[in-house]
Amino acid sequence: MKVFDWNKAAKLIVKYKIQNAYAAIDGMEETKIQIFKGGKLFIDTSNITNLKHEILNPILKYGNESIYCYVNYSRHPDWSYMQWPLSAIHIVKHLCL
């Protein structure tokens, strides 16, 4: 089982100075949720989705780019839903300074 890797997403957002980003399951447009908006962390509480899948890959989308962005579910079962974990929030805040 693959789950969206919030820490990798945070590092990529900072590295590429991404202003708007989305998390999704590749090939499943209905799972796409905005996670970064206007250069800031974003949580859309009206659109909670499951970001894990047995076969398809979770991805980070920004602009016209899509990057595989997942980790094994057994390592982070609490990362299944659209919610920035504290570790990823720390990465964004620390590296953006």
pTM of the model: 0.90
pLDDT tens profile 48-76 = 678 889 999 999 999 999 999 999 988 88
Give yes or no for a contact between 85 and 78, defined as CB atoms under 8 angstroms apart: yes
Give yes or no for a contact between 26 and 68, defined as CB atoms under 8 angstroms apart: yes
SS3 letters for 32-69? EEEEEECCEECCCCCCCCECEECCCCEEEEECCEEEEC
For residue 33, give its domain range: 2-95
The domain total for the chain is 1
pLDDT at 3: 93
